Structure 1
Amino acid sequence: MRLLRGLECILLAVLSGGIGGESSGQEMLPPSATMSATGSATGSATMSAAKSGLTLERVESLRKEAEESTELDEETKKKVAELCRSALTELQRAAELEARGRKCEADAAAVGRQVSQIRRRLSELKRREREHPQGTGLQELEQELSALEPQFAAKKKALVAAEGEPTSRAQQRREMRARLATIPASLEETAKQAESLPADEHAVVTAARKMESAARQLALNNEAPAIENELAKFDAEDAADLVRLQRDLCTQEVLVAERQVELLRDRIKTVRADAALQAVRKARDEAIAADPILKSYAEHNRQLAEMARAITQQFDEADRSLKAAKKDHDQLVRQFEQTRKKVESVGLTSSVGALLRKQRAALPDARKQRTAVTSRRETIDETQYKLLEYDDERQELADPELQVQRILGSTHMQRAQDRELLEVAAREVLERKREYLDSLIRNSNTYFDTLVELDTTEQQIIVLVEQYQQYIDQRVLWIRSGNLLTSEWRPDSSDHWFTSGRRWLEVPQRLWSDFRKNPLLYPVALLVLAVLHQRRRHFRRELRQIGEAAQRPTCRHFGPTLRALALTFGLAALWPGFVGFIAWRLNVAAQGELFAKAVGYGLGCLCAMWLPLELFRQICHAQGLAEAHFGWPSSATQLLRGNLRLLILLGLPLTFVTSTFFTSDPSHGRDAIERTCFILEAAVFALFIRRVLRPGGGVFKEYIAYHQGGWIDRLEYFWFWLGVTGPLLLAGLAFWGYYYTAQVLSWRLYATMCFVAALVLVRAMLLRLILVRRRKLSIEQARERASAAAQAGEQTTAMPAGIVTEQPQADLSAHSLQTQRLLTTGMLATTLVGLWLIWVEVLPALSMLDRWPLWTITTTVHAAETRALPTTRPNLDQPPAAEPAAEPAATPTRYQRTSITFSNVALAVLIAVITFVSARNVPGLLEISVLQRLPLDASVRYAVTSLVSYGIVLLGAIVACSNIGLRWSQIQWLATALTFGLAFGLQEIFANFMAGLIILFERPIRVGDIVTVDNVSGVVSRIRIRATSITNWDRKEYVVPNKEFITGRLLNWTLSDQVNRIVINVGIAYGSDTEKAREVLLRIANEHPLILKEPKSMATFENFGDNSLNLTLRTFLPNMENRLQVIHDLHTAIDKQFRQAGIEIAFPQRDLHIRSIPDALATALSPRRKAA
Structure 2
Amino acid sequence: MPLIILLASLAVGSKVLAQEAPTVTAGSLGTLEDAVREATALTDEERAPLLLDLQQAAQDLARAKQLRQEADSYRRAMETSTDEVERYNDLVRGMDEAPPSVEDRLGSDPDLEDIEAELDIVEARRRSLAEQRTTALAALGDRSSGDSDPQQRLAAVTAELEALQAPPAADGSLNARVSAAAQTAEQQRLEAEAEMLKLRLRATPAINAIRTAKLAWLDASLARADALLGALREAAATTRESAAARRIEETRRIAGEVDNSHPDVLALAEENISLIRDQQRLADALADARNDTAALRDLSEYIEEDYRLTQRRLEVAGLEGKLGQVMMTRLASLPDKRDIQRGTAVRNEQLADVSVNTIDTDEALRQSTRRSAYLRERFPNFEDWTRVERRVLDRLYEQRRDLLREKLEAQNALLRLLVDTNQAAAGLIEATEAYEAFLTGNLLWIRSYRFLDPAELVAQLWSLLDPAPFLSVASHWQQQLRNPATLLGLVLIALLLVNRRRILAAQQALLGVPIRPREESPRKIASGVALGVARSALLPGFLLLTAWVLASAGGDSLATEGIARGLGTAGALIFGLQLAMSVTARVGTGRRLLKWNNQKTDAVRRDLPWLSIVLPIAAGLSAFARTGWGEKSGGALAALATFTVSLAGLIYSVRLLRSGQFSGDTLGKFFLRAAALLSGAAAFMHLSGQLFAAHLYLTALGWSVAAVALTLFVMNVLQRIILIYRSRLERRQREELRAQAEAEAASDTDSERDNQLSERDIDAVASLSDAQGRLLGALRLAALATLLWFIWSPALPAITLLEDVTLWSTADPTLPEGELRPVSLATLIIAALVVTLTTLLTRHVPPLVQVLLMEYASVSAGARYAIGMLLQYVIIGVGASVSLGLIGFAWSKVQWLVAALGVGIGFGLQEIVANFISGIILLFERPIRVGDVISVSGYDGTVVNISARATVIETFEGKELLIPNKDLITGVVNNWSLTSSKLRIVIPVGVAYGSDVRKAMRILVEVARDHPAIIDDPAPVATFEDFGDNALTLWLRCYAESEFIHRWTELRTDIYERLNKAGIGIAFPQRDVHLDAAEPIPVQLVERPVVEKN
Give the TM-score taking structure 1 as reference length. Answer: 0.62
Residue 252 of structure 2 is aligned to residue 284 of structure 1: yes
Aligned to 1:346: 317
Question: Following the alignment from structure 2 to structure 1, what is the Cα–Cα distance between the partners of residues 193 and 548?
Answer: 69
- 1:609 Cα deviation after fit: 1.8
| Residues 764-814 of structure 1: per-residue CA shift (max 9 Å, x gap) | 21121121111111111211221221122123448999x999853431432
For the structure 1 residues 284 and 329, does the alpha-carbon distance in structure 2 shift closer, same or farther, using more than 3 Å as the test? Answer: farther
Residue 526 of structure 2 is aligned to residue 573 of structure 1: no
- 1:539 Cα deviation after fit: 3.5
- 1:422 Cα deviation after fit: 5.5
- 1:139 Cα deviation after fit: 3.7
For the structure 1 residues 56 and 150, does the alpha-carbon distance in structure 2 shift closer, same or farther, using more than 3 Å as the test? Answer: farther
Answer yes or no: is the 8 Å Cα contact 1:584–1:600 preserved in 2: yes
From 399, 407, 427, give the equivalent of 1:432: 399
Any idea what SS the aligned residue of 1:792 has? helix
For the structure 1 residues 207 and 559, does the alpha-carbon distance in structure 2 shift closer, same or farther, using more than 3 Å as the test? Answer: farther
Question: Following the alignment from structure 1 to structure 2, what is the Cα–Cα distance between the partners of residues 915 and 422?
Answer: 70
Letter in 1 for 2:65: A
Residue 514 of structure 2 is aligned to residue 548 of structure 1: yes
Answer yes or no: is the 8 Å Cα contact 1:141–1:264 preserved in 2: yes
Aligned to 2:155: 181
- Structure 1 residues 870-889: aligned runs within 5 Å: none
Aligned to 1:461: 428
For the structure 1 residues 629 and 196, does the alpha-carbon distance in structure 2 shift closer, same or farther, using more than 3 Å as the test? Answer: farther
From 152, 158, 161, give the equivalent of 2:126: 152
- Structure 1 residues 302-317: aligned runs within 5 Å: 302-317=273-288
- Structure 1 residues 895-1044: aligned runs within 5 Å: 923-929=839-845
For the structure 1 residues 401 and 213, does the alpha-carbon distance in structure 2 shift closer, same or farther, using more than 3 Å as the test? Answer: farther
- 1:636 Cα deviation after fit: 2.0
Question: Following the alignment from structure 1 to structure 2, what is the Cα–Cα distance between the partners of residues 298 and 756?
Answer: 65
Residue 708 of structure 2 is aligned to residue 784 of structure 1: no
Answer yes or no: is the 8 Å Cα contact 1:155–1:254 preserved in 2: yes
- 1:822 Cα deviation after fit: 0.9
Aligned to 1:829: 782
Aligned to 1:98: 68
Question: Following the alignment from structure 1 to structure 2, what is the Cα–Cα distance between the partners of residues 921 and 405?
Answer: 64
Aligned to 1:699: 661
Letter in 1 for 2:458: D
Question: Following the alignment from structure 2 to structure 1, what is the Cα–Cα distance between the partners of residues 114 and 96?
Answer: 27
Question: Following the alignment from structure 2 to structure 1, what is the Cα–Cα distance between the partners of residues 9 and 339?
Answer: 66
Letter in 1 for 2:843: E
Aligned to 1:161: 135
| Residues 130-173 of structure 1: per-residue CA shift (max 9 Å, x gap) | 34213544444444444444333222222222333322377799
Letter in 1 for 2:107: P
Answer yes or no: is the 8 Å Cα contact 1:297–1:429 preserved in 2: yes
For the structure 1 residues 1056 and 679, does the alpha-carbon distance in structure 2 shift closer, same or farther, using more than 3 Å as the test? Answer: same
Question: Following the alignment from structure 2 to structure 1, what is the Cα–Cα distance between the partners of residues 714 and 556?
Answer: 41
For the structure 1 residues 48 and 340, does the alpha-carbon distance in structure 2 shift closer, same or farther, using more than 3 Å as the test? Answer: same
| Residues 922-944 of structure 1: per-residue CA shift (max 9 Å, x gap) | 75444335899999999xx9xx9
Any idea what SS the aligned residue of 1:110 has? helix
Answer yes or no: is the 8 Å Cα contact 2:77–2:207 preserved in 1: no
Aligned to 1:1128: none
Question: Following the alignment from structure 1 to structure 2, what is the Cα–Cα distance between the partners of residues 242 and 605?
Answer: 51
CA RMSD of aligned residues (A): 5.0
From 25, 28, 33, give the equivalent of 1:55: 28
- Structure 1 residues 678-827: aligned runs within 5 Å: 678-694=642-658, 697-700=659-662, 704=664, 711=666, 722-797=674-749, 808-811=760-763, 812-827=765-780
Question: Following the alignment from structure 1 to structure 2, what is the Cα–Cα distance between the partners of residues 608 and 808?
Answer: 50
Answer yes or no: is the 8 Å Cα contact 1:304–1:436 preserved in 2: yes
Residue 521 of structure 2 is aligned to residue 557 of structure 1: yes
Answer yes or no: is the 8 Å Cα contact 1:484–1:736 preserved in 2: no
Residue 79 of structure 2 is aligned to residue 109 of structure 1: yes
Question: Following the alignment from structure 1 to structure 2, what is the Cα–Cα distance between the partners of residues 608 and 579?
Answer: 9
Letter in 2 for 1:244: T
Any idea what SS the aligned residue of 2:445 has? coil
| Residues 564-604 of structure 1: per-residue CA shift (max 9 Å, x gap) | 22222233333333433334334444455565554443332
Question: Following the alignment from structure 1 to structure 2, what is the Cα–Cα distance between the partners of residues 58 and 123?
Answer: 59
- 1:104 Cα deviation after fit: 3.0
Answer yes or no: is the 8 Å Cα contact 2:12–2:158 preserved in 1: no
Aligned to 1:42: 17
- 1:336 Cα deviation after fit: 4.1
Answer yes or no: is the 8 Å Cα contact 1:97–1:223 preserved in 2: yes
Answer yes or no: is the 8 Å Cα contact 1:115–1:242 preserved in 2: yes
For the structure 1 residues 421 and 283, does the alpha-carbon distance in structure 2 shift closer, same or farther, using more than 3 Å as the test? Answer: closer
Question: Following the alignment from structure 1 to structure 2, what is the Cα–Cα distance between the partners of residues 330 and 699?
Answer: 56
Question: Following the alignment from structure 2 to structure 1, what is the Cα–Cα distance between the partners of residues 522 and 498?
Answer: 27
Answer yes or no: is the 8 Å Cα contact 2:793–2:799 preserved in 1: no
Residue 557 of structure 2 is aligned to residue 604 of structure 1: no
Any idea what SS the aligned residue of 1:808 has? helix
Unaligned runs of 5+ in 1: 1-31, 198-202, 705-709, 852-872, 875-903, 957-1001, 1003-1052, 1059-1172
- Structure 1 residues 184-583: aligned runs within 5 Å: 184-187=158-161, 191=165, 211-237=181-207, 241-290=209-258, 292=262, 294-322=265-293, 324-325=295-296, 328-329=299-300, 331-333=302-304, 335-384=306-355, 386-387=357-358, 390=361, 410-411=381-382, 413=384, 424-437=391-404, 439-441=406-408, 443-444=410-411, 447-448=414-415, 450-483=417-450, 488=453, 494-495=457-458, 498=461, 503=465, 509=471, 512-513=474-475, 515-518=477-480, 524-535=491-502, 537-545=504-512, 548-549=514-515, 552-555=516-519, 557-583=521-547
- 1:428 Cα deviation after fit: 3.4
| Residues 630-679 of structure 1: per-residue CA shift (max 9 Å, x gap) | 22222222232222223224544444444444444489999556534443
Question: Following the alignment from structure 2 to structure 1, what is the Cα–Cα distance between the partners of residues 77 and 603?
Answer: 83
Answer yes or no: is the 8 Å Cα contact 1:662–1:674 preserved in 2: yes
- 1:763 Cα deviation after fit: 1.8
Aligned to 1:641: 605
Q: Which moved more, 1:386-395 or 1:91-100?
A: 386-395
Aligned to 1:1121: none
Question: Following the alignment from structure 2 to structure 1, what is the Cα–Cα distance between the partners of residues 742 and 623?
Answer: 71
Question: Following the alignment from structure 1 to structure 2, what is the Cα–Cα distance between the partners of residues 95 and 614?
Answer: 80
For the structure 1 residues 677 and 154, does the alpha-carbon distance in structure 2 shift closer, same or farther, using more than 3 Å as the test? Answer: closer
Identity %: 19
Aligned to 1:629: 593
For the structure 1 residues 188 and 748, does the alpha-carbon distance in structure 2 shift closer, same or farther, using more than 3 Å as the test? Answer: same
- 1:835 Cα deviation after fit: 0.9
Question: Following the alignment from structure 2 to structure 1, what is the Cα–Cα distance between the partners of residues 111 and 553?
Answer: 51
Q: Which moved more, 1:685-694 or 1:777-786?
A: 685-694
Question: Following the alignment from structure 1 to structure 2, what is the Cα–Cα distance between the partners of residues 102 and 63?
Answer: 35
Question: Following the alignment from structure 1 to structure 2, what is the Cα–Cα distance between the partners of residues 693 and 400?
Answer: 86
| Residues 1051-1082 of structure 1: per-residue CA shift (max 9 Å, x gap) | xx999999xxxxxxxxxxxxxxxxxxxxxxxx
- 1:212 Cα deviation after fit: 4.3
For the structure 1 residues 86 and 721, does the alpha-carbon distance in structure 2 shift closer, same or farther, using more than 3 Å as the test? Answer: same
